[in-house]
Structure 1
Amino acid sequence: MPDQPVLVAIDIGTTKVCVLIGELTARGGVDVIGIGQAPSDGLRKGVVIDIDRTVQSVANAVEAAERLSGLKVRSAFVGISGSHIGSQNSRGMIAVSGHRHDVSRDDTLRAIEAARAVTIPNTREILHVIPRGYVVDGQEGVRDPIGMSAVRLEVETHIVTASSTSVQNLSKCVQRAGVEIDELVLAPLATAESVLTEEDRELGVVLADIGGDTTDVAIFQDGSISHCATIPMGGRSVTADLGIVLRVTPDVAESVKFKYGSAVPLEVDPDEVLQVTSIGEDTAHGVTRRHIAEIVESRANEIFGFVAKEIEAAGATNRLQAGLVLTGGGSGLTGATRAARDQLGMSARVVAPTGLGGLVDRVSTPPYAAASGLLLWGARNWPTEDERAGGRALEGVGDRLGKIFKRAPGPVHGPPARPAKVVDGQGARRERPREPGQDPRTPAPVPARRGTAARSACAITAWHRQPLKLRSIVPATN
């Protein structure tokens, strides 16, 4: 049995499902002890289109991580993205209560709740409510108003919404794979945890996670997120273009893309010729590498053009001093940073995830940025042993979530207390990992939960929908 709590991250992409199991260290870090990956067959542009295939993909990735770690996955932090994601900024205002007019934690909660009272269609739901800054009696830029004298308190927030059916279908797939959900986390928010620095967020930065079918975009200004969106194009869009023009299979097109493709045709030898056999033909024909690069460049420019539109929509043009950070599997395309610089007129760099220990040699590449970020998100949100033992789960989890958004002006505070259970993440039952061939939709028995009954305060991002269930794994028997 591990000495420290263990948590699990599941990143469900359009090309692969990645599962990471991490053990919290005594110093507050996370050591990766389990890694699982499986092809993703049931998603398109971040949305579930085949539940059974998605369930099987999740189950296969979970099984691989269980075998490596020797632990049984019980629940996980799950990333969510897709073109159905939307966001908006909102402001809430309240009169400060109390005879001394000192701002209290309850006042900040009421202000956040007022900001959350936005009108959205009944087909959508709120994923996250992220405080960006406070205004105290007209004084803007206040990071933490608690204890300040005031008559009126305002809060600026960023609200992330999602399609209710997309949320339900993704949740259903994870649960049918035998895993309960600790929290659904917007994927680019999680990715930012592993690839962005404090300085990036303060100076202003745009993050672009290029996946298979989509590119997740998140813009940070003044230390906090100000805009997020999903572009319905990614690495497979480039592959599809090559397949159509060259008339080759997707596998051949993918190989050509990474071996010979470039987003900057001028950097490619115009005289280099490749021999390609098209579908339905017996003999190969010559294609210049420059022509391949021109095909790649066209789609890359289109993707970065959409990124530019998101920057403009956020009102961040010429305000992002830290430039563009590229990550995700599609960021490995040759010439991607040069193409981005030319399109956006700003610096661009590819960044791999950092901040984890353990099996880092296997996860310190851009394709693992979202999964790594989910582990870091969960770790910063995890109550300490003292907080659990002292029955301070509500306060403790809220404080730890505040660290997640410590770039934001002021801490993130949770909602009023509601019944829930918080446990130490080690479960209470020994079980073997799922056997090969076992129906992944058969839910595993839920271990008994220990700890104080208190509503998780991490949940200014998810409290309205479901409590956070901190019970990621139970040890497996030999």
Structure 2
Amino acid sequence: MADSTVLVAIDIGTTKVVTLIGEASRAAQVDVIGIGQAPSDGLRKGVVIDIDRTVQSIAQSIEAAERLSGMQVNSAFVGVSGSHIASQNSRGMIAVSGRRADISRDDTVRAIEAARAVSIPNTREILHVIPRGYVVDGQEGVRDPIGMSAVRLEVETHIVTGATTSLQNLLKCVQRAGVEIEEPVLAQLATAEATLTDEDRELGVVLADIGGDTTDVAVFVDGSVLHASTIPVGGRNVTNDLGLVLKCSPDTAESLKIRYGTATPLAVDPDEIVQVHQIGEDHPRGVTRRHLAEIVESRMQELFELIAREVDRAGATNRLQSGVVLTGGGSLLTGTAQAARDQLNMSARVVAPSGVGGLTDQIATPAYAAATGLLLWGTKHWSLDEAASNGHLDGLGGRVRGLFKALLP
């Protein structure tokens, strides 16, 4: 068994592409040794709209990470998100095989495969089948049934699907940049690896990764994911609103958002004036900072209303003791956590990624949560597959990854 290996994570967002190179150990620990970032303008709402531009952004990000680490990128774990993502819960049931009727790992795999046999349109592909819990001869709440005596085994799973063409186009861009796909990973699941604790998942939490064009949402209850979706609203919507109302350029609007924007107008001095350079005007115009904040607040209220709707769809309204965890670049907007508390009536906090070592100074900010989580996801699954290759497991990780080969162009 190898003591360590080099893993790569590529997070392809609507505003930037981030590549992280990490050295992972058998103990599922990882040190970041390479970081690369490039502007991204080939995606909208998480979907590729310009393959050439997306390939160029990915390649630039990879090259920067390679220069810093001195390593060459051959394969990577790739984050997947976008408005085409959907999820559902499904249950599978099997009869336990073997004379002694002790549940084996093969039995759990068969149960998961039975749950996977759901009817989905031929325009969609299954991305993940995640076990949420097992039922052993009617006994619910079993986390690990292996070794238990039983006649019947049931599994409750969470199935994540995506539009076939959207997935293929994204993976095609990575391959055209000269990188093979190790595994496509739902961005919400990756981000959770870097931002949520085991206690959060047990007590119930909603994770909201606020990006440029979209917000990735995942609801965790009883230790596992219950619901995942992508909301087509992000930080860029706030910028666009400011530009439209204040009649200024996108660059000016973004600068105003970063310097003066807040999601809580009442916390702003009503007499404070901000100078705005409007399009076509020679001289700046003064507007109150509170007016600017009210523009921001309106869009953030819409976002949190949509998050509340996803929580309701998951049936988890009164089951989230850990409240909402906010991350992603959009969560850095002043007042975001307070606005979430007011709108969702639950605790809220902004969380930066953790769990990695090495070059952490550059990525210890919510904007790198998804990329960091992808590296942690890859580290966890590499260590499991290493154990499998040495006879300790049956290679479930490798078998599951085989499901994705059909997606590759």
**TM-score bracket relative to the smaller structure:** over 0.9
Q: For residue 387 of structure 1, report the CA deviation from its aligned partner.
A: 4.0
Q: Residue 284 in 1 paired to residue 223 in 2? A: no
Q: For residue 363 of structure 1, report the CA deviation from its aligned partner.
A: 0.9
Q: For residue 464 of structure 1, report the CA deviation from its aligned partner.
A: 2.0
Aligned to 1:463: 402
> How many Å separate the matches in 2 of 1:467 and 1:163?
13
> How many Å separate the matches in 2 of 1:391 and 1:311?
42
Task: Please give the secondary structure, in 1, of the residue aligned with 2:72.
Answer: strand
Task: Please give the secondary structure, in 2, of the residue aligned with 1:465.
Answer: helix
CA distance 1:53–1:340, change in 2 (3 Å) = same
Paired residues for 1:241-252 under 5 Å: 241-252=241-252
Q: TM-score, normalised by structure 1?
A: 0.83
Q: Residue 111 in 1 paired to residue 50 in 2? A: no
> How many Å separate the matches in 1 of 2:312 and 2:189?
20
Q: For residue 391 of structure 1, report the CA deviation from its aligned partner.
A: 4.6
CA contact (8 A) 2:8 2:375 kept: yes
CA distance 1:174–1:386, change in 2 (3 Å) = closer
Aligned to 2:179: 179
Q: For residues 418-437 of structure 1, what are the alpha-carbon distances to aligned partners after superposition, in whole Å with 9 as ceiling and x for unaligned?
A: xxxxxxxxxxxxxxxxxxxx
Q: For residues 90-149 of structure 1, what are the alpha-carbon distances to aligned partners after superposition, in whole Å with 9 as ceiling and x for unaligned?
A: 000111222322222222111111100000000000000000001111110011111212
CA contact (8 A) 1:331 1:366 kept: yes
CA contact (8 A) 1:383 1:393 kept: no
> How many Å separate the matches in 1 of 2:277 and 2:116?
57
Q: Residue 194 in 1 paired to residue 194 in 2? A: yes
Q: For residues 163-219 of structure 1, what are the alpha-carbon distances to aligned partners after superposition, in whole Å with 9 as ceiling and x for unaligned?
A: 000010001100000111100000010000000001000000000000000000000
Code of the aligned partner of 2:231: I
CA distance 1:42–1:393, change in 2 (3 Å) = farther
Question: Which structure has the highest helix share of the two?
Answer: 2
How many residue pairs are counted as aligned between the two chains?
A: 407
Task: Please give the secondary structure, in 1, of the residue aligned with 2:373.
Answer: helix
Q: For residue 4 of structure 1, report the CA deviation from its aligned partner.
A: 3.1
Segments of 5+ residues of structure 1 without an aligned counterpart are 399-413, 415-455, 470-478
Aligned to 2:19: 19
Q: Residue 148 in 1 paired to residue 87 in 2? A: no
Aligned to 2:331: 331
Paired residues for 1:233-312 under 5 Å: 233-312=233-312
Percent identity at matched positions? 72
Q: For residue 77 of structure 1, report the CA deviation from its aligned partner.
A: 0.3
Aligned to 1:33: 33
CA contact (8 A) 1:92 1:116 kept: yes
CA contact (8 A) 2:105 2:146 kept: yes
Q: For residues 356-387 of structure 1, what are the alpha-carbon distances to aligned partners after superposition, in whole Å with 9 as ceiling and x for unaligned?
A: 00001111110000000000000001147974
Code of the aligned partner of 1:466: K
Aligned to 2:44: 44
Aligned to 2:66: 66
> How many Å separate the matches in 2 of 1:291 and 1:88?
41
CA contact (8 A) 1:212 1:330 kept: yes
Aligned to 1:352: 352
Segments of 5+ residues of structure 2 without an aligned counterpart are none
Aligned to 1:218: 218
Aligned to 1:208: 208
CA distance 1:468–1:357, change in 2 (3 Å) = farther
Code of the aligned partner of 2:402: W
> How many Å separate the matches in 1 of 2:319 and 2:3?
46
Task: Please give the secondary structure, in 1, of the residue aligned with 2:33.
Answer: strand
